[in-house]
Every structure is written in structure tokens, then in C-alpha cells.
Structure 1
């Protein structure tokens, strides 16, 4: 989609109540965008694109969203200006949302801001929020104040900063969580080994019972008396004698 240019000028938006101005190659009075009133969402003015390019090379007005462009044209304009890091491009509403968030990730984000313009906007927005009855979290207020002081001192980190304290607390929490998980794993392993031992004991008991039963059967078989061959022969002879006696008793008396 081509940019909506009129005489080389594109739409620039100021969502803040504070005015913004910067030099112009076409007007000695420079570029000026007044701050919006309370009942306005934004103020829009057309600005020469080469003035925008020149200002972008010297300041971060556009890099941090102090001034914005039409939503349908922003991506293309940022590419033309070479602005790749768009995470910090925020209007006042987005800025307020960031300042009401005291999560560790958000505080890390604040602690990494290198734009004095953005951190100054944040400091001003904190005042606006407090004045309107919205109280930003204490840790967020401290993080913004500390980062502002750090940037004023060349970016040197404050050792006992809120972010460092929270990082230390987070590290301890992670270590405790890791320790608890390790303990749980060890308990599971012990229970598993205990169960395996119980199963082994049961198998051993069953095996021992089976062996005892088998030995009992073997012992029973051994204790049964065996019939000897001599006894069998003697029994056979006795039977034969009995048969002979019966025959002799049945023989007729010839003398009669």
C-alpha cells in the first residue's frame, strides 16, 4: 500500500498531552505538534518525510513511539526508517499498561531500556497515573526510577536495584522448586524400589513354598515300601501248591 503523501508529507500522530517539536529543513519555525486535549484521542499533522528521516537519525522520538504514524502505514514507514526494534514503540495507553505490570518479565524489560526518551516518558506517565488515582505497583515505580538514574550515570547498574533483588528471589524460588522436584523424584524411586522388593519377596516365598511341596511329594514316594522279587516267587510257589492239593483231592478212588 503506497504511503498517503501530500507534497511529500505524511501523517504524524501525537497521542500525548505534551507537545512535541523538532527542526525542519523546510520551515524555520520547525515541526510542531501540540499535545492532545483531554477529550481528544490524538493530534495529527502532516510532516515532510525527509524531516522525519533527519530527526530519526538524531533522536528516538519515533523509535519509542513518542510520535506515531497512521496504523495502516506504520510498518512500511518503520522499515523505511530502519527501525527494527518495535517492542518499545508505545503510545500513552500502552505505556500505562506496561507501568501497571510488576511481573518479573516486565521489570526485566524496563531494566533493559536504553532510551532516555522512553524512560522519561515512563516517569512522567507514573505521575499521570498517580494523579488520576491509579497507583502503579511499587516495584514498577522503583524499576523506572532506578533505570532513569542508571541512564543518567552512563547506564551503570545499581547493585541493590529492585530488579537485582527480584532476580535473586526468583533464583531462590527456582532452586527451591528444583529441590522439591528432586525430592519428589527420589520418593517415587524409593517407592518403586520398595514395590519391586515386595514383588521379589513374594516370588521368593512362592518359590520356597513350591520347593517344600515338591520335597514333601518326593519324601512320600520314597517312604512307600517296594515289593521284592523273592517275595513274588514265594507267593507263586504257594499258589502252585494249593492247586496241586486241590487236584489230589478231586482224584477218584480206583479201588472201589
Structure 2
């Protein structure tokens, strides 16, 4: 199987929304019109020109220009570019929209001013387009930009991981226990209200005292004695 670098021409793609101009061996250079990931600007270029371009600029190292996905790893290896270090436009968008610790740290670690300018430009372009972006990302980009402008290649910034939330199953158990406790409180309140209503509706029953009972019996006895004393006609 032949190597990609043995081809007469290799497609070079521009997926950024900026014009990219780059010098070449023939002295004419190449100008890439703005493109996108879905519709890139493509120019077929000889392998030896690609080698020269990579030696004179950082367009491939920074991810400004790229190759066909099925050919990219082989070409990167041939021209000495570490694929894991390359930031394409979609990687920049992901870092801005999903500010994980890893994404933020990757931005802080950038030492090339031109590369960081791509990130900064992309952030403010998205902001002007109405994207609701994190203030944390804005602060980090502005501070790192100031560092690079001041010549600080190694950043003094740091990313502090946010406190981890409880796992989903633990959250569910806590929520279930909370609901169960609320239900028990409702039942207790209902039982208490019912008991108070029963107590309020009960009427006390009057009972004769021993003195009253004795008095009544005495009266009955006296009445009987009076009846016996009446002579018969």
C-alpha cells in the first residue's frame, strides 16, 4: 500500500471562517478562502510544498489548516506534528461551550500568542452572535491573553475543580427519603387534627354526688313515713 506522501497532490483544508494566506516553494503562495467543518475550502498541494509550509509556519501545528480525516494521522507523523496537541476550530468551540477542567487547562497551557488569539477571537465572535457563555471562560481568556502579551509563556493561572455532586443513585435515595419524611409529617398532622376535633366535640356527663344521693333517699323515706301516718276514714 502506497504512502499518502507519495501522492502527487494532497488535499489541504481550511475550516476556519478566516482567510488564510501561506507561502510556498514556488513563491506564489496559497490563499485559502474562509470555510467551515461542513464545507471547507480545499486546495490540492504537492507533498513537498506541504513539508516546506510546515517548516515556515505553524498553520498545521495550530490546526488552522488540516487534511482529510483518513489521511491526517499519516501526514502529521510524516511532517512531525503531534496530533494530540492540535486545536481545530471545533475543539476551540467545545472548550468554550463546555468549560471542563481539562478544557480550561488546555487553554491555559497554550504558549503561542497566535494560537491563543484564535481562541480569543472565537470567544468574542460567539459572544457577539448572542451565545450565553460562561463568565469563568471570559475571565480566563482575558487573563491568559494579558499574560501572553506580557511575555509570560508559562501561565500563573490555575483551574480549581468544582465540588463533585453526589452520584445519581445517591441523589435518588435522598430524594425518596425526603418525600417519605414529608408524607409521614402530613399523616401525623392529620392524626393530631382529628384527635383535637374529637376532644373539642366531647361533652362532660354530670354525675350525682354522694351527698345529693343521700338527700334524695332521705326525702323519699320521709314522704313514705308521712303517707303511712294519714288515718284511714
Q: Normalised by the size of structure 1, how large is the TM-score?
A: 0.56
Match among 92, 114, 117 for residue 114 of structure 2: 117
Structure showing greater Rg: 1
Residues in 1 aligned to 2:99 and 2:17: alpha-carbon distance in whole angstroms = 25
Q: Do the aligned residues in 1 keep the contact of 2:11 with 2:68 (CA within 8 Å)?
A: yes
Would the alpha carbon gap of residues 32 and 156 (structure 1) be closer, same or farther in structure 2, given more than 3 Å must change?
closer
Map 1:16-165 onto structure 2 (within 5 A). 16-26=16-26, 28-36=27-35, 41-84=39-82, 86-155=83-152, 163-164=157-158
Q: 4+ residue runs of structure 1 moved beyond 3 angstroms? A: 156-159
Residues in 2 aligned to 1:55 and 1:4: alpha-carbon distance in whole angstroms = 14
Specify the alignment match of 2:15 in structure 1. Answer: 15
Runs of 5+ in structure 1 lacking a partner? Answer: 175-256
SS in 2 for 1:64: coil
Residues in 2 aligned to 1:90 and 1:156: alpha-carbon distance in whole angstroms = 18
Q: Do the aligned residues in 2 keep the contact of 1:61 with 1:117 (CA within 8 Å)?
A: no
SS in 1 for 2:59: coil
Residues in 2 aligned to 1:13 and 1:59: alpha-carbon distance in whole angstroms = 16
1:129, distance to aligned residue in structure 2 (A): 1.0
Q: Encode CA deviations 1:65-85: one digit per residue, 9 max, x unaligned.
A: 10010111000000001112x
1:34, distance to aligned residue in structure 2 (A): 0.9
SS in 2 for 1:52: helix
Residues in 1 aligned to 2:146 and 2:10: alpha-carbon distance in whole angstroms = 36
Residues in 1 aligned to 2:70 and 2:125: alpha-carbon distance in whole angstroms = 29
Residues in 2 aligned to 1:121 and 1:156: alpha-carbon distance in whole angstroms = 16
Would the alpha carbon gap of residues 25 and 93 (structure 1) be closer, same or farther in structure 2, given more than 3 Å must change?
same
Specify the alignment match of 1:234 in structure 2. Answer: none
Deviates more, 1:45-54 or 1:68-77: 45-54
Residues in 2 aligned to 1:66 and 1:156: alpha-carbon distance in whole angstroms = 21
1:144, distance to aligned residue in structure 2 (A): 1.9
Q: Do the aligned residues in 1 keep the contact of 2:109 with 2:154 (CA within 8 Å)?
A: no
Q: Normalised by the size of structure 2, how large is the TM-score?
A: 0.61
Would the alpha carbon gap of residues 18 and 156 (structure 1) be closer, same or farther in structure 2, given more than 3 Å must change?
closer
Pairwise CA RMSD of aligned residues?
2.7
In the alignment of these two chains, the number of paired residues is 163
